[in-house]
Amino acid sequence: MDQQQRAARQRQIAAELHVSDAFDAKHEIARRVAFLADYLRANALGTYVLGISGGVDSSTAGRLKPMRSRRSRSSAPTKR
């Protein structure tokens, strides 16, 4: 596969996965935190178990988890 074919294949894959050319970090963080909070709520769960390997994915998940917790606490109904 030559350079031109590889570039065309990458564009095809990006289109199929609905990958945007632009990346807005704040938007993506908010979107992922919302997904985590919504998943817990939709499945009547209260916590996640997070396995940490030390890689970039683990670090990212470890950072998003407290953000999700703060969001859930701030949107939770007040107990009396």
- Is position 16 within any domain? no
pLDDT at 2 over 50: yes
SS3 category, 17: coil
Kindly report which listed range (6-10, 30-34, 70-74) carries the lowest average pLDDT score: 70-74
Pair 67, 32: CB distance under 8 Å: no
Cβ atoms < 10 Å from Cβ of 7: 11
Mean pLDDT score across all residues of the chain: 82
Q: What is the pLDDT of residue 80?
A: 43
> Is the residue at 65 inside a domain?
yes
Crossing angle for the helix pair 25-42 and 56-75, nearest 10 degrees? 70
The answer to whether residue 55 sits within a structural domain is yes
pTM attached to this predicted model = 0.54
Name the amino acid, one letter, at 42. A
The boundaries of the domain holding residue 73 are 23-80
Could you read off the pLDDT of 40-61 as tens digits, one per residue?
Answer: 899 998 888 877 788 888 888 7
**Tokens 């817990």 identify what position?**
40
Could you tell me if residue 57 is inside a domain? yes
Would you tell me how many other CB atoms lie within 10 Å of the CB of residue 25?
Answer: 7
Number of residues written out for the chain? 80
